[in-house]
Structure formats: C-alpha cells, structure tokens
Structure 1
Amino acid sequence: MTRIPYPDPAGLSETKREVLSGAFGRVLNISRMAMHAPDPFWAPQRALGRAAIFDISITPRQRELIILRVAYLSRSDYEIYHHESIAAALGLTERERQGLESGDFSVFAAEEQCLCDFVSELVSDVSPSDRSLAAMQEYFGLPTLFEILFITCTYMMLARVAAVSGAEIDDEAVTNWNLRR
C-alpha cells in the first residue's frame, strides 16, 4: 500500500493525462506517483529519466550497473525489482549482482570497477575521491563522466520518490527498454 495515494487523473494536466493514457507506452507506478510534482518540475524530471534510459553513450550494461548500485545503496526495493530484471536480460551474472549489492567489485573488469567505485562514492560520500575522479576521467572522459553523474543522481532521486511515496512495485518487472519512446 502506498504512503501517498496516486494522483487523481482528473486533476492532472492534459500532458500528464496523455502520458497516463498509454500513448507513450507503459506507465510505471513510479512515473504515476511523480505526477504529483508541478508540471515545471515533472516535465524536466521525466525528460531526464528518459534521457538516462534512451540517450546514453555508455553501454546499457554500464547503465544498469550504475542504477543497481544506486538502488542497493539506497535500499530501493522498487528500483531493485525492475533493474535486476533488466540487468539479467543484459547478461549480468548472479555473482556480478552479488558484487554490486555487497560492494565487492573484484568480479568486474577494471573499467567497471572504476564505475562502481565512483557511483558508490557519489551515493555514500556525495563527492568522489580524487583517485576515483581521475580514474573516471581516464576511462570515460568528461562528457561521459557527467552523463554517469546525471544518471546516478536521477536514480538517487527516483529511489527517494519511491521511498517517500511508497510507490507500489509494479505487477510485472521491466525486462528491457524496447518500449515506445
């Protein structure tokens, strides 16, 4: 049961009602709950979330490593439910999943270890160490580093929206993002 009720569609803007209609594909409970936000906040948040999924330069696997690490550190059952499913469809092994959950990244190649360390430090410490920042710049370059920073922050925000609102876990997990955009 949610802590906050989902918004009444009758009280939503035309744009939000159009999204709820399914015209743009499946609407997850977290997206429904986020519609409580005023349109000037909701629309850019939605665009940022979609960019984090559809407009990335990193691999989908790297994206899911980021999101799952954020989800585990944030104890977000909602995000874990969907993104373990997506990551498994992308080939993430159980051993790798356990490493992401525990913080033991030794199962990953050096570039992915660097990525996971960076995300862990962002979530736990707000700012990465100089060592992590330098390694990220070497592996990914600044534009991609900032993409990773924004994806991390987007999912930190979504984990908190789910926690505060009590958005219910959807009946069916997302297994891929080959949905209508």
Structure 2
Amino acid sequence: MRLNQPRIKPLSPEGLTPEQAEILAPLGGGGVIPAGPVLNIFRTMAHAPKALKAFLTWGNYILSRKNDLPPREREIVILRTGFLCKSGYEWTQHVEIGLRCGLTQDEIVMLKTGPDAGWSPADAALIRAADELNADYFISDATWAALLTYFSEKQAMDVVFTAGQYTQVSMMLNSFGVQLDSGQTLDPDLRKA
C-alpha cells in the first residue's frame, strides 16, 4: 500500500446524495463480489458518481463473459498487473477472486515472481504480456505470437483490455489511498517500502 490512510475518504451511507445512493445501491453484492457491505473502492469513487457509473460499465465488461479470457486466465492478468502496480488493495481483492476462479495458492505466490516461475507456456505468455504492458505499454512481437499460439486474437485483445483496466484501477486505488476492507490483510510484499 502506498498510503496508510485515505486521501479521499469512502462515503458513509448517511451522507450520500441521491445520485450517490442510486449508483451504490446495487454494489453490495452479486457478480464476482460476494454480497455484503459496499467495498471501499466504490464508496471512494462515489465522490464522482458519473465517473463511477462509466467505470462500472467498462469494469463489468472486463469481469463478464463478454471478455473471452477464461476467468482463471483473466485473474492471472489482473493479479500480475496489480502486483506490478504495487496496488495492495487490488491484489487483496483479486487473490480471493482468483482462488474462486481456479488459481491455487501456490500459483498466486508464483505470480509475484513472473513468467519464468514454472508456469505452463500459455500462462507464461499471459504474465509476460502483463509485464511488457506494465514496463513499455506494448506487447512485443514474440510475446504476441506466443499469446496467439494459445489464445484467439479476441482473447489477446482482452489481455490488453484487462491489463489496461487494472492499471487504471491500481492508479486510482494507490493515488486515492483506498484502504483494505474490513477483515482483509495486506500481503507483506505490498507494504510501503
């Protein structure tokens, strides 16, 4: 985590405008997020309800079946991107989601190391693509060819869309100082140096 306290405090239910209440109402459950309180990311972003509404549209594409990456492979890209962006909040949320989508605890730990940590060639291509996008905002010809060996062209596009979305999410979380939700523990590898 880059910040130990929020720069923008999550809104409390008592202080919401009607527009904020409307956008937050459906976010307490459903989809890949278990039912419960509205997450800090959404309560923070609700300070800009129109931006949150637009954000949710694209985010719902990334996390839906419209994204042609299978959920496990999508979570590989999301987790690697979150780790590279040093986003403790993103990493913490998606470790739980990744486990539900078929990643093992050992694979989650291996994601911190990178594409040469004993992955299958298909998984290594996903991780290498996330690494290259993070470092250079570009997937090299060799990595693009590797992706197309294991994934369709649309799936390769979805790798870029997914890494781009979660780079943006990580920027917001890190810059706004969004803190972990109740009951979560920060991975020690993502503590502020």
TM-score, structure 1 normalization = 0.82
Residues 106-158 of structure 1, C-alpha deviations (whole Å, 9 max, x = no match): 42211111111111110122111111112223322222211121111111111
* Deviation of the 1:13 alpha carbon: 5.6
* Deviation of the 1:52 alpha carbon: 1.2
- Structure 2: which amino acid aligns with 1:148? V
Kindly indicate whether the alpha-carbon contact (under 8 Å) linking 1:99 and 1:105 is maintained by their aligned counterparts in 2.
no
Kindly indicate whether the alpha-carbon contact (under 8 Å) linking 2:28 and 2:39 is maintained by their aligned counterparts in 1.
no
* Deviation of the 1:47 alpha carbon: 0.8
Q: Which residue of 1 aligns with 2:56?
A: 46
Q: Which residue of 2 aligns with 1:99?
A: 110
* Deviation of the 1:74 alpha carbon: 0.6
Match of 1:108 among 98, 119, 122: 119
1:19 aligns with 2:23: yes
- Structure 2: which amino acid aligns with 1:129? S
- Judging changes above 3 Å, is the alpha-carbon distance between structure 1 residues 94 and 48 closer, same or farther for their aligned structure 2 residues? same
- Judging changes above 3 Å, is the alpha-carbon distance between structure 1 residues 96 and 11 closer, same or farther for their aligned structure 2 residues? closer
Aligned-partner SS, 2:7: coil
Kindly indicate whether the alpha-carbon contact (under 8 Å) linking 1:30 and 1:162 is maintained by their aligned counterparts in 2.
yes
| Structure 2 CA distance for aligned equivalents of residues 13 and 158 of structure 1 | 25
| Structure 1 CA distance for aligned equivalents of residues 17 and 105 of structure 2 | 41
Kindly tell me the number of residue pairs found equivalent between the two proteins: 171
Q: Which residue of 2 aligns with 1:176?
A: none
Residues 20-63 of structure 1, C-alpha deviations (whole Å, 9 max, x = no match): 23466252111221223361x33221111111112322211111
1:160 aligns with 2:171: yes
- Judging changes above 3 Å, is the alpha-carbon distance between structure 1 residues 136 and 13 closer, same or farther for their aligned structure 2 residues? farther
- Structure 1: which amino acid aligns with 2:157? F
| Structure 1 CA distance for aligned equivalents of residues 64 and 81 of structure 2 | 19
Q: Which residue of 2 aligns with 1:125?
A: 136
Kindly indicate whether the alpha-carbon contact (under 8 Å) linking 1:72 and 1:80 is maintained by their aligned counterparts in 2.
yes
Q: Which runs of 5+ in 2 are unaligned?
A: 30-35, 185-193
| Structure 1 CA distance for aligned equivalents of residues 144 and 115 of structure 2 | 19
Q: Which residue of 2 aligns with 1:178?
A: none
Kindly indicate whether the alpha-carbon contact (under 8 Å) linking 1:7 and 1:33 is maintained by their aligned counterparts in 2.
yes
Kindly indicate whether the alpha-carbon contact (under 8 Å) linking 1:105 and 1:116 is maintained by their aligned counterparts in 2.
no
Q: Which residue of 2 aligns with 1:148?
A: 159
| Structure 1 CA distance for aligned equivalents of residues 53 and 26 of structure 2 | 16
| Structure 2 CA distance for aligned equivalents of residues 30 and 38 of structure 1 | 12
1:6 aligns with 2:10: yes
Structure with a larger share of its residues in helix: 1
| Structure 2 CA distance for aligned equivalents of residues 23 and 38 of structure 1 | 13
TM-score, structure 2 normalization = 0.78
